[in-house]
Amino acid sequence: MFKLLHATGYNTDSIHSIGIKVTHLLIKSNIHDAKYKISITSNKYDPIEFLFPYEALPKINFHDYALWAILPLAMKNGDHIEIQEPISKRAYESVLKVARIWNFWVPHFYQKIKITAHQIVETEKANNQKSLMCFSGGIDSTYSTLKLYQQQVKNVDSLTVHGMDYKVNDTSKFDQLLEKTHKLRASVFGQSRFVKTNIYTVYNQQKCNPKGTHVTHIFSLFASLSLFEGYEHYLIASDERIDQQFVSHPYGSNSASNKLMHNVSGSLVTVDDDVTRFEKTEYLVKNQFDLTSLSACGDAKARPHNCGVCIKCLWTKSMLLAVTGKIPNIFLDINLSHDWYERIDLRDITNQMYAFDVLEYLDIHNKTDLLPGYQGLREKLNLVMLRRELDRLKNYPKLSLLKELITL
């Protein structure tokens, strides 16, 4: 049952009083049945397009996806969004809440926004236990997929987005990914869904990401998920265990703000935020998972294969070596030199996490001799962790700093 709340406009409070210049952003959703395409046009940005090369257009009753897709652009530039097409009250309120959160977290980069929606409809959340899960073939989504299989969870479909890990015009490599992961997807998901989009290209034009936050990732995914109405749960695998999220904050996909993202029928759910990337890798190995389906490479030219020399591959190799004592033949280059870690910037908090987990596992299991360059990596990590803590202490008032130092 739907209830129309406002047909002529629904505005947030004025924000002109704090001196922020708000620009008017009129957006329009366009359904192109003959071209299997949905687009979002505006008076300010290039069109955002979603194409459906493998299935018919999804049935669109509400245009919540348009709000989620345009939000990073609007936050970056402090826009006043206006939309004529119907949206759900759940999405409307959720978009405003998430926008306020990111404005509070990163005020130097994301501004306050305003929304005028001409058709806001009150809807009921779905209660059908149906889920749509993001699947990329990487360690995080593969781990979560295996867990679904082991727990015999039913009514779960997958969504793989072409235009994020793979350039929107690189159809060949994306098709290779689908072939590489077909067996796993077919054994777990009721339906594998796909959408092709240029949303990253449009975001990049406007430089929508604060340094190190990867914010546009989660909005790209939830906008794509929201094209498919009718699911109660929209699942995304956690990038980090929840305690690690505290250290990397603010980061785009996180358990705190993800859970506040809603559309007409369902909500975004971050799954498996109780395990680290290392623990997921260990679990896959110990459950004799076929690692040949993994695509965990950071080099766009090599994907869906694993190059073995990029930063992501180096960490995956070190994790697998720590757990199994050898590097499996899933990399184009299976070597790990004595100074491999010198290529990695340990000032990056994510790299610190991976290094810490690998080294701790080796220490606990008395296997430090397995990892080339163990001692050098340990010394380098200890140094950057100490510097990180000292940098944090610099922000304390002098009295608090003194108390902190006394307790060290």
The domain segmentation of the chain, as residue ranges, is 296-393
Instruction: State the burial class of residue 179 (Cβ atoms within 10 Å of its Cβ: 0-12, 13-18, 19+).
Output: exposed
pLDDT for residue 33 is more than 90: no
Rounded distance, CA 378 to CA 376, Å?
A: 5
Rounded distance, CA 73 to CA 77, Å?
A: 6
pLDDT the model gives residue 392 = 76
pLDDT the model gives residue 180 = 97
* C-alpha angle 274-277-279 in degrees, rounded to nearest 5: 70
60 falls in which pLDDT band (50, 70, 90)?
A: very high
36 C-beta neighbours (distance < 10 Å), count: 15
143 falls in which pLDDT band (50, 70, 90)?
A: very high
Q: Per mean pLDDT, which range of 20-34, 51-65, 254-268 is the poorest?
A: 20-34
Phi, psi of 212 (to 5 degrees): 80, 5
**8 A C-beta contact, residue 157 and residue 191:** yes
14 falls in which pLDDT band (50, 70, 90)?
A: very low
The mean per-residue pLDDT over the stretch 201-228 comes to: 96
21 falls in which pLDDT band (50, 70, 90)?
A: low
Q: Alpha carbon of 19 to those of 40, 107, 111, 157, 243: distances in Å?
A: 29, 14, 11, 46, 37
pTM: 0.91
The mean per-residue pLDDT over the stretch 306-332 comes to: 98
Average per-residue pLDDT in the chain? 92
pLDDT for residue 7 is more than 50: no
- In the sheet with 87-88, reading across from the earlier edge strand, the strands are 3-6, 120-122, 87-88
pLDDT for residue 204 is more than 50: yes
Rounded distance, CA 229 to CA 64, Å?
A: 10
